Amino acid sequence: DQQVKQNSPSLSVQEGRISILNCDYTNSMFDYFLWYKKYPAEGPTFLISISSIKDKNEDGRFTVFLNKSAKHLSLHIVPSQPGDSAVYFCAARSRSNFGNEKLTFGTGTRLTIIP
Amino acid sequence: GAVVSQHPSWVICKSGTSVKIECRSLDFQATTMFWYRQFPKQSLMLMATSNEGSKATYEQGVEKDKFLINHASLTLSTLTVTSAHPEDSSFYICSARTARPGWPQHFGDGTRLSIL
């Protein structure tokens, strides 16, 4: 049962254009959402996050939008740069029975920026 | 800042041996560390959570006697895969965070474990 889904395994975008990565979730108990970026042979790097009580968070070229009614979030990167080429993971936070933070990850979207 | 170092990055060993993986937070105090496992073409799956000085809490379906976790200090957690078998071959990755609200988990680079 995949609670966090990234339905596009890959995406190619021209340099300078907007990249939009999508993520859907099913668990309404998630209270925080995060985006991580991963280069080959490295661990995921935190990019941006959003609380479930907000609908938008912006940090430089990166903006995350949350639509709670649709259980959908998206990451916008504008303008896209070649260095943005990586795998992007969406993650959603919940609390375990022990009260610990638990992140549930999507399967990732490979973004390729075409020069 | 927020660097997490994981060692080794790659290990190959014979079936039946035990393998220890270290996870260190280099520039912050990690009150909580997490261990994940990733199978090919699948997402990261949380195995267990460890709070410094406490016993680890394991996710459903993860054998605590198979995957021993120790978090004895604010900068170090270890995962020991005991009596490893080929089905334990996978990518293991740790993350760490402080107790500060809103602080995200920061990840190590992972360990590729291959059991022959």
Strand order in the sheet with A72-77: A4-5, A19-25, A72-77, A62-67, A56-59
- Interface touch A4/B42, C-beta < 8 Å: no
Which residue of chain B is at minimal alpha-carbon distance from A98?
A: B57
pLDDT digits (tens, 9 = 90+) for B21-49: 999 999 999 999 999 999 888 889 999 99
Residues of B in contact with A107 (CB under 8 A): 41-43
Which of B2, B43, B104 is nearest residue A49 as measured by Cβ atoms?
B104
Does A96 touch chain B if contact means CB atoms closer than 8 Å? yes
Look at residue A115 and tell me whether its pLDDT is greater than 90: yes
Residues of A in contact with B42 (CB under 8 A): 107
Q: How far, in Å, CA of A103 to CA of B98, rounded?
A: 15
Q: What pLDDT shows up at residue B2?
A: 82
pLDDT digits (tens, 9 = 90+) for B80-113: 999 999 999 999 999 999 988 878 999 999 999 9
CB of A65 within 8 A of CB of A71? no
Which of B57, B93, B95 is nearest residue A98 as measured by Cβ atoms?
B57
Residues of B in contact with A89 (CB under 8 A): 43-44
Mean pLDDT, to the nearest integer, of A55-75?
Answer: 97
CB of B38 within 8 A of CB of B46? no
Measured over the CA atoms of residue A35, residue B5, residue B94 and residue A110, the dihedral's sign is positive
* Residue-wise DSSP of A48-60: EEEETT-SEEEET
Measured over the CA atoms of residue A89, residue A93, residue A94 and residue A99, the dihedral's sign is positive
Residue type, B27: D
Which of A4, A43, A96 is nearest residue B109 as measured by Cβ atoms?
A43
